[in-house]
A and B are shown apart, each in its own frame.
Chain A
């Protein structure tokens, strides 16, 4: 198992490296001169050259690449074209914001989905179960931005229970600090996007768990568990649900990737200052270092998530051979 983890770590490193390299060249190949937005074309050639030198844009591509790699290793994502501040400074809190929204929401979605789906299959055949399946299927095919706007319309505008967006009341913390996460105001702002994201991401694990359970319930080992005189509760949780978790666990990496990428939409709808929104802002302002940094972190999150989910799956299923 130890060497398996090492090997997986090595694979992860290769994936990361390939992704970082690809991204560097992709961004250089994009049309449009990124320096145009900050370096006024009205400047004379000398001033322009000085600016380019300041951002290192005058050197050969391959040299820029090695500088870029070296900087990344020191978490130095370069300077924002727009604000001239280090990108990492911009990203740091945005990353925390995204994680605070997405992680608890995904955990909630998977936990509720797993138990809900298991119970739906266990007590199958009722009318309540039928309507739940229908509702989940419908919800799953609804676009998440539409759900978000609907939630804002109902809960913020009509009922006035929750704010329409932002992470804290604007103006309350002129400079974002760690302390804002410790306020009720933050939780109040978190509630609606958390709810929408959880509800949306709940459907997939719920339906998958239900259909997996329906076939697991008919397995011989579930029948044997019952024959052994175990209580129904033990048969349900210890055998039927325990084994139905496996297919659900294989979907975790994929879903994690989706949900981080999907955070762009949720963050935009709720003006949630996370990585996704930062990336959108960067794109509209051609602030390439910022976009690249946000993009990179989203990719890293996905890759690390896949790695963790892989290990988790290995723990859940002893038949996996660690090779």
Chain B
């Protein structure tokens, strides 16, 4: 395996709030090889956007990186300082933002918004910039005659394509995508992902896709990273993780997938994400976990289950025996008592 292009190493990030520090990222480590596709999946609030913003170095003012490194081509950006980090943004690591409608400045022409990104990093003549923008539009399948339009003149899907064009402007070796199609209907979503895969084959960038939809990751990524409550709970090659999920939360996510032609209803995981200011002791998933035991009140270790496949659970080595139970809806319902005992917040749940 070649040297990783992006490497996140033991990252801790906290948000200062009125009531204390929210531990939004804890011990997050993950590396991305050149040209690879990695998918980060987890329910809303688990810290996916926080992680991507940290990688871009655009955290909100109340966020602080407490520990860890973010290495791009071997250089730690956290240590390198804001200006070095700024130069890597977009030219080294670009991002397709979550909402195409809000991410484009409504009062500026699209061409101006792309060209300012180029000019922030390269000293190109005007003609070359315009030619590049037209080429980018062509690449993502938008009429190059429309580069001088305003964002509101495009449909939702087109806007998302414009954002992709913008992200590719400087041929970045790493592309981050934060739920790039949440606002779009399924058909357009499909088209967008198809052209993203195509572009990736052509241009060879590495892709880090963030989504709450496990299905999208299975379709688009070679590797899966599962996040829960600000921590990575399982990571591994997609095929292995799907064939043998080793963390109960991954099992839960898998059960929640609607399957074509399946007789069973998808099972959703009852309960709420953990309070990040005062997280439960030990395993953060314990209050919702049907397999929780006493030892789960201590921090579970990251266990290696195979090449590149690991999970953070005390019982991951027994998972082969537990998996059949996880497929039964009663398993998830039965543990309300434990869930309530450990997390009084969930009492009103029905």
Number of cross-chain contacts by CB at 8 Å:
74
From residue 229 to 279 of chain A, which have CB atoms closer than 8 A to chain B? 229-231, 234, 238-239, 242-243, 246
- B240 interface residue (CB < 8 Å to A): no
Contacting pair A229 B105 (CB below 8 A): no
- A58 interface residue (CB < 8 Å to B): no
A142 to B109, CA, bound (A): 43
Contacting pair A231 B107 (CB below 8 A): no
Contacting pair B117 A316 (CB below 8 A): no
The stretch from A73-81, A113-121, A203-211, A218-226 touching chain B is: A218-226
Q: A229-B89, A318-B150, A319-B152 are in contact. Are A221 and B102 (CB under 8 A)?
A: yes
From residue 306 to 322 of chain A, which have CB atoms closer than 8 A to chain B? 316-319
Contacting pair B120 A230 (CB below 8 A): yes
Choice from B58, B90, B94, B107 contacting A242 with Cβ under 8 Å: B107
Point out which of A224, A229, A316 has the most chain B C-beta atoms below 10 A from its C-beta: A229
A317 to B86, CA, bound (A): 29
Q: Which residues of B contact A223 (CB under 8 A)?
A: 53, 58, 97, 103
Q: A220-B98, A223-B58, A318-B150 are in contact. Are A228 and B120 (CB under 8 A)?
A: yes
Choice from A220, A230, A231 contacting B102 with Cβ under 8 Å: A220
- B319 interface residue (CB < 8 Å to A): no
Q: A226-B58, A228-B116 are in contact. Are A221 and B89 (CB under 8 A)?
A: no
- B206 interface residue (CB < 8 Å to A): no
Contacting pair B107 A230 (CB below 8 A): no
- B37 interface residue (CB < 8 Å to A): no
Q: Which residues of B contact A316 (CB under 8 A)?
A: 107
Contacting pair B102 A219 (CB below 8 A): yes
Contacting pair B105 A239 (CB below 8 A): yes
Choice from A221, A234, A238 contacting B103 with Cβ under 8 Å: A221
Residues of A in contact with B, size category: 20 to 34
- A159 interface residue (CB < 8 Å to B): no
Residues of B in contact with A, size category: 20 to 34
Choice from B107, B150, B152 contacting A246 with Cβ under 8 Å: B107
- B217 interface residue (CB < 8 Å to A): no
- A227 interface residue (CB < 8 Å to B): yes
Identify the closest chain A residue to B100 (Cβ). Answer: A220
- Bitwise, B86-101 to A at CB < 8 A (1) or not (0) is 1111110011011100
Q: Which residues of A contact B86 (CB under 8 A)?
A: 229, 231
- B328 interface residue (CB < 8 Å to A): no
Contacting pair A227 B152 (CB below 8 A): no
Point out which of A223, A239, A243 has the most chain B C-beta atoms below 10 A from its C-beta: A223
Q: A226-B58, A230-B116 are in contact. Are A243 and B107 (CB under 8 A)?
A: yes
Q: A246-B107, A316-B107, A319-B106 are in contact. Are A228 and B99 (CB under 8 A)?
A: no
A1 to B126, CA, bound (A): 28
- B259 interface residue (CB < 8 Å to A): no
Q: Which residues of B contact A231 (CB under 8 A)?
A: 86, 120
- Bitwise, A284-323 to B at CB < 8 A (1) or not (0) is 0000000000000000000000000000000011110000
Q: A229-B87, A229-B117 are in contact. Are A224 and B107 (CB under 8 A)?
A: no
Identify the closest chain B residue to A320 (Cβ). Answer: B107
- B5 interface residue (CB < 8 Å to A): no
Identify the closest chain B residue to A239 (Cβ). Answer: B105
Contacting pair B107 A227 (CB below 8 A): no
A226 to B166, CA, bound (A): 14
A229 to B86, CA, bound (A): 5
- B104 interface residue (CB < 8 Å to A): yes
Choice from A226, A234, A319 contacting B107 with Cβ under 8 Å: A319
Identify the closest chain B residue to A219 (Cβ). Answer: B102
Q: Which residues of B contact A219 (CB under 8 A)?
A: 102
- B272 interface residue (CB < 8 Å to A): no
| A contact residues vs B (CB 8 Å cutoff) | 219-221, 223-231, 234, 238-239, 242-243, 246, 316-319
Given A229-B88, A230-B117, 6 additional A-B pairs, CB 8 A: A221-B106, A224-B97, A227-B58, A317-B106, A318-B150, A319-B106
| B contact residues vs A (CB 8 Å cutoff) | 53, 56, 58, 86-91, 94-95, 97-99, 102-109, 116-117, 120-121, 150, 152, 166
Q: 5 tightest CB-CB pairs across the interface, nearest first? A: A229-B89, A220-B102, A228-B117, A221-B105, A229-B90
Could you jot down 18 A-B contacts, CB within 8 Å?
A221-B104, A223-B58, A224-B95, A224-B103, A226-B58, A228-B90, A228-B117, A229-B86, A229-B87, A229-B90, A229-B117, A239-B105, A242-B107, A246-B107, A317-B107, A318-B107, A318-B109, A319-B106
